[in-house]
Structure 1
Amino acid sequence: MVVIGSVAANFTRDLEQNYRVIAEFTTRAREQNVDLVVFPEAAIGGYLSSLGNHGDTVKNTGRSLPPAIRLDGPEIARVQSIIGDLVIAIGFCELADDGRTRYNAAAILDGDRVYGTYRKVHQPLGENMSYSPGGDYGVFDTPVGRVGLQICYDKAFPEAARVMALDGAEIIASLSAWPAARTATAENLQDDRWTYRFNLFDAARALDNQVFWVASNQSGTFGSLRYVGNAKIVDPGGNTLATTLLDSGMAVAKVDIAETFATMRAGMFHLRDRRPDVYTPLIDLDPTGAAGWRRSAHA
């Protein structure tokens, strides 16, 4: 059995505030015998203060950007000193070895070891003005199982989760700073269309790949962004086992990975029943629509 916690909380540019929040949830996790805690995207240093061309996300400027953190730097070491033997996934702005390039990144680690890192591949709404894109998806062996990492907008792309499931991911941790819609925002954010999409993607990706899906998210506000929380754990059947809804907090669920996989994959096993031989046109498709499919399929 593995006990998983998924966090919805607010993280800012104040690193000491971030460390206090991490310590608070680490304490809660120990009290509930949690083995894996998934913190949100940009939990160390906060996310961007807006999305789109609003003048505060200009690439390679220091204005409004999160602190750039090296994997071997003091910030990661501080987090490791807080968590001890607890396994966590956490997001931050990674500074590459060239000292200039920034990535929206995540790592899975405990107090002694970094098991794996990930750089966000899919970038929404001008995020490329602040970060360079990553180029691959890794799956990492950890004390809690085989875990893949995604960040936010990645969940909108079925291919991202599928490639990790095919690489043996049992748990996919999807770390987000997912806000409400920028226009026509619902009065109750739980009813907002972007909240609906966030939750729908989580259920779909878990069910698509018959994996445990752990979605963390920021909550509260930062800059012009109003986050929708809804941290959750979803089982391989697409069922939400626990959620925070809009509130800050930690959703917790105890899961038996081996038994659940044996049960839910006993009949229809999506990874086994794929037909890769008919999917090859995907990389040649015209993204504007079906005409591209017809051209590539009959070329």
Structure 2
Amino acid sequence: MPRTLKAGLVQQQAWPEKAKSLEVSEAGIRDLAAQGAELVMLQELHATHYFCQCEDAELFDLAEPLDGPTATRLAALAKELDIVIVGSIFERRAAGVYHNTAVVMDRAKGRVGFYRKMHIPDDPGFYEKFYFTPGDGDARQGFEPIDTSVGRLGVLVCWDQWYPEAARLMALAGAELLLYPTAIGWHPPDDQAEKTRQKDAWTLIQRSHGVANGIPVIVANRVGHEPDLTNVSEGIDFWGGSFICGPQGELLAHAGETSENLLVELDLTRSENVRRMWPYLRDRRVDAYGDLTRRYRDR
């Protein structure tokens, strides 16, 4: 029998003030729930501005524990609206140990799982290694799907989206969907051709994970210009472009560059049918991939 899932995402602007950002997040969640959404995903670090544009030790004060105010608010919404919510927090795990963490709230059950970002970038305007410790690579906290009432979710975060290994490991562990809360945008001085190449590559790599693994992909990005609070750089223009695609990479919904909510009814039985016709998992040469655990194959 067909098994469907109404899945939505909130693409929004964010501000340094948590109350203001979370008010917009909540409005988006409520709008999607009113339309019948059973699963709603928010973007990476939706409760604040993207603070990683600079290195400032005082910004660690933005961090919260797994059961802090932001997660508690999302859990209450999931219970009230009887939906599954995938949110994002700047997690304070311990003094000096902070993570970029996705949290999954399942209806009245509360938090049923979390995922700590595994790949941490460090580039101009994206100084995440200063703030985030990579997630632990064990079975509980590595590339392990999270079981929910709407299915087994393969939750990854932003920079993880460029790594086919992460998507594959989630799929091999039974993930029925890949979900990517993200925060990515343009350096304002880049010319339009470069901006187009970057955004096209970002969309293409994530759609390819759906193709290679035969499962749908949900991606939520932020929008709007966010200044560098130190005024050293020209800030970031977050490009939006959130989307939901099917198990052959087909775009089912695609947002523009402004605040927008997306909602799609997914037929989860299609993954089974697609994998029967395109049996990539069957034909993998697992006996020949040992070098993937090496940093580089020196000759």
- How many Å separate the matches in 1 of 2:107 and 2:58? 30
Gaps of 5+ in 2: 137-141, 228-234
Q: Which amino acid aligns with 1:117?
A: F
- How many Å separate the matches in 2 of 1:268 and 1:23? 39
Kindly indicate whether residue 229 of structure 2 is the aligned counterpart of residue 232 of structure 1: no
Structure 2 counterpart of 1:47, from 47, 50, 58: 50
- How many Å separate the matches in 1 of 2:189 and 2:120? 20
Closer, same or farther in 2 for the Cα pair 1:33/1:179, shift >3 Å?
Answer: same
- How many Å separate the matches in 2 of 1:99 and 1:165? 34
Provide Cα deviations, 1:64-111, integer angstroms capped at 9, x if missing partner.
Answer: x57101112222112222342221111110010x23311111111135
For residues 231-270 of structure 1, what are the structure 2 equivalents within 5 Å? 231-258=242-269, 260-270=270-280
For residues 176-195 of structure 1, what are the structure 2 equivalents within 5 Å? 176-181=182-187, 183-186=189-192, 192-195=196-199
Closer, same or farther in 2 for the Cα pair 1:111/1:262, shift >3 Å?
Answer: closer
Q: What is the SS of the residue equivalent to 1:192? A: helix
- How many Å separate the matches in 2 of 1:35 and 1:183? 40
Equivalent pairs counted in the alignment come to 277
Closer, same or farther in 2 for the Cα pair 1:182/1:155, shift >3 Å?
Answer: farther
Kindly indicate whether residue 224 of structure 2 is the aligned counterpart of residue 217 of structure 1: no
Q: Which residue is equivalent to 1:53?
A: none
- How many Å separate the matches in 1 of 2:41 and 2:239? 16
Contact 2:7 2:264 survives alignment (8 Å): yes
Contact 1:220 1:228 survives alignment (8 Å): yes
Q: Which amino acid aligns with 1:234?
A: C
Q: What is the SS of the residue equivalent to 2:184? A: coil
Contact 2:115 2:135 survives alignment (8 Å): yes
Kindly indicate whether residue 72 of structure 2 is the aligned counterpart of residue 77 of structure 1: yes
Q: What is the SS of the residue equivalent to 2:206? A: helix
Contact 1:69 1:95 survives alignment (8 Å): yes
- How many Å separate the matches in 1 of 2:203 and 2:162? 11
In the TM superposition, what is the alpha-carbon distance from 1:240 to its structure 2 partner? 0.8
Contact 1:181 1:193 survives alignment (8 Å): no
For residues 7-86 of structure 1, what are the structure 2 equivalents within 5 Å? 7-50=10-53, 56-58=54-56, 61-63=57-59, 67-83=62-78, 84=80, 85-86=82-83
Structure 2 counterpart of 1:173, from 163, 176, 179: 179
- How many Å separate the matches in 1 of 2:264 and 2:167? 21
**Identical positions, percent:** 26
Provide Cα deviations, 1:210-240, integer angstroms capped at 9, x if missing partner.
Answer: 1110000111122211111111111110111
In the TM superposition, what is the alpha-carbon distance from 1:8 to its structure 2 partner? 1.2
- How many Å separate the matches in 2 of 1:204 and 1:166? 16
TM-score for both structures, normalised by structure 1? 0.87
TM-score for both structures, normalised by structure 2? 0.87
In the TM superposition, what is the alpha-carbon distance from 1:192 to its structure 2 partner? 2.5
- How many Å separate the matches in 1 of 2:257 and 2:116? 27
Q: Which residue is equivalent to 1:127?
A: 128
Q: Which residue is equivalent to 1:88?
A: 85
Kindly indicate whether residue 98 of structure 2 is the aligned counterpart of residue 102 of structure 1: yes
In the TM superposition, what is the alpha-carbon distance from 1:20 to its structure 2 partner? 1.1
- How many Å separate the matches in 2 of 1:45 and 1:229? 16
Q: What is the SS of the residue equivalent to 1:105? A: strand
Q: What is the SS of the residue equivalent to 2:167? A: helix
Gaps of 5+ in 1: 51-55
In the TM superposition, what is the alpha-carbon distance from 1:38 to its structure 2 partner? 1.0
- How many Å separate the matches in 2 of 1:18 and 1:285? 39
Superposition CA RMSD, Å:
1.9
Q: What is the SS of the residue equivalent to 1:199? A: helix
- How many Å separate the matches in 1 of 2:32 and 2:71? 19
